[in-house]
């Protein structure tokens, strides 16, 4: 597969993506071969079903939400993404290097923004109580009463909602998580 990868991915393209995302060229070609193996239709782009085919994703209670957020994050119009968008979203989870200038790709804010988009079901920039309830239901399971979950969602909302709108904006969200070291907790070690 390695030879195929290098054939399809232009040298200058790699350099450009590397500049945008901060990945090393080596990492990019690794990601590219992953992209190719996910792309069953061999059209050079991925659609949500391509990702949903990953078997272990089925046991992830938020699996479908993650895939949706993955695509919502990349393209607002179409439901397919090309390699560049694929890498750009993954770059959010790249650990920050020492002395790295706080660029946009993997800053604390963009990491949190991705998490926020998991909560944000309608993709409208705010999280409602209903959204929270759905997420909770997905994670906790259904052997708990609706009232219980509602109480939890309400409490979560009241805790974070500063201006009493009954909705969470991204600012509220970020404010509620000031003690969380998202730079570290929202990072994945990428193999070189």
Partner 1 sequence: MKSLTWTAMVMCAVVVLLPGVASVTEDSADLVIEMYLNETEIPETLEHCGDHERMTEFKVARLQWHEVDIPLIIALWIIFATIVRLAFSFSSLEKYIPESCILICTGFVIGGIVLILSAVTSSKSGHPNDTVHSTRYAGVLQLESELFFLFLLPPIMLEAGYFMPVRAFTNNLATILLFAVIGTLFNAVTVGLSLFAVSEFGWLGSDGNETIRVSFLECFTFSSLISAVDPVAVLAVFEEIHVNQVLYILVFGESLLNDAVTVVLYRMFETFNEIGQDNLQTKDIIFGILSFFVVSLGGVFVGALFGFLTAVITRFAHHVRVIEPVFVFVMSYLAYLTAELLSLSSIMSIVTCAMVMKPYVERNISQKSHTTIKYSMKMLSSLSETIIFIFLGVSTLTETDNHQWNTSFVFFTLIFTFVYRFLGVIWQCFLANRYRLLKIKSKEKFIMAYGGIRGAIAFSLVALLCETIVLSKKIFFTTTIVIVMFTMFVQGMTIKPLVNKLHVKKEEKHKPSMNEEIFARVNDHILAGMELILGHEGRNSVREQWRHFDNKFLKKLLIRDYKAVSDPKILDVYQKLTEKDATDYIKEHGTFHLSASVSNFLRTEIGGSGMLHNSSSASLSGI
Among 93, 107, 113, 129, the residue binding partner 1 under the rule CB under 8 A is: 93
Residue 129 near residue 153, CB atoms below 8 Å: yes
Residue choice 31, 74, 91, 133 for contact with partner 1 (CB under 8 A): 31
Residue 106's Cβ-side half-sphere holds a number of Cα atoms within 13 Å equal to 25
Contact with partner 1 (CB under 8 A) among 98, 100, 102, 162: 98
Inter-residue contact 67 to 57 (CB < 8 Å): yes
- Residue in the block written with tokens 């929270």: 132
Size of the site for partner 1 (CB under 8 A): 54
Among 13, 29, 34, 121, binds partner 1 (CB under 8 A): 34
Task: Verify binding: residue 36, partner 1, rule CB under 8 A.
Answer: no
Among 1, 125, 151, 171, which residue sits at the site for partner 1 (rule: CB under 8 A)? 151
Under rule CB under 8 A, which residues in 110-149 are in contact with partner 1?
A: 114-115, 118-119, 132, 135-136, 139-141, 143-145, 147-148
**Nearest-angstrom CA–CA distance, 189 and 192:** 9
Question: Shortest distance, CB of residue 16 to partner 1, whole angstroms?
Answer: 21
* Contact call for residue 37 and partner 1 (CB under 8 A): yes
Say which residue the tokens 């994703």 belong to: 57
Where does this chain bind partner 1 (CB under 8 A)?
Answer: 31, 34, 37-38, 51, 54, 56-57, 59-63, 66-67, 70, 90, 93, 95, 98, 114-115, 118-119, 132, 135-136, 139-141, 143-145, 147-148, 151-152, 155-156, 159-160, 173, 176-177, 179-180, 184-191
């Amino acid at each position: 597969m390695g030879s195929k990868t290098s054939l399809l991915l232009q040298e200058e393209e790699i350099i450009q993506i590397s500049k945008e995302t901060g990945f090393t060229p080596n990492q990019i070609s690794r990601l590219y071969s992953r992209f190719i193996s996910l792309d069953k239709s061999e059209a050079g782009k991925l659609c949500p079903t391509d990702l949903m085919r990953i078997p272990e994703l089925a046991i992830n209670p938020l699996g479908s939400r993650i895939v949706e957020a993955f695509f919502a994050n990349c393209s607002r119009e179409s439901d397919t993404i090309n390699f560049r968008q694929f890498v750009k979203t993954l770059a959010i989870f790249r650990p920050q290097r020492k002395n790295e200038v706080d660029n946009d790709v993997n800053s604390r804010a963009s990491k949190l923004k991705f998490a926020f988009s998991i909560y944000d079901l309608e993709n409208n920039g705010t999280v409602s109580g209903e959204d929270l309830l759905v997420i909770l239901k997905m994670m906790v399971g259904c052997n708990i009463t609706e009232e219980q979950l509602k109480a939890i969602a309400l409490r979560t909302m009241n805790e974070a909602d500063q201006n009493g709108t009954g909705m969470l904006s991204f600012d509220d969200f970020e404010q509620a998580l000031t003690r969380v070291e998202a730079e570290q907790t929202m990072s994945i070690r990428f193999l070189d």
